[in-house]
Amino acid sequence: MRFHIKKGDEVVVIAGAEKGKRGKIIAVESKKQRVIVEGVRMIKKHMRKSQQNPQGSIIEREGTIHVSNVMAAEKFDARAGKRNPEPANA
């Protein structure tokens, strides 16, 4: 499936609880139509005891966002410029 964004793109969240946040796309899950954006929708994941974590631990990592809720940052900025044009004679 093709999307309007790809891994490594700078995006802006345009809907939901994280609206307005910016970040780079870390991963795209095309079957689920979701993306993981750096620093957005942080969730706490409980890790089982292991050799690296003998006590177990709680780590924070990014959750997924539906692809329709993000927009390429350059497109978002271009739209913002059209909405609020700078006055020519200030």
Beta bridge partners of 29: 34
Q: How confident is the model at residue 1 (pLDDT cuts 50, 70, 90)?
A: confident
Q: What is the pLDDT of residues 11-34, one digit of tens each?
A: 999 999 999 999 999 999 999 999
CA distances to 3, 17, 63, 70, 90 from 14, rounded to whole Å, are: 16, 10, 16, 5, 31
Asked if residue 45 lies in contact with residue 56, where contact means CB atoms within 8 angstroms, the answer is no
Q: What is the pLDDT of residues 43-81, one digit of tens each?
A: 999 999 999 989 999 999 999 999 999 999 999 988 888
Question: Is residue 90 predicted with pLDDT exceeding 60?
Answer: no
> CA-based angle 42:13:65, to the nearest 5?
55
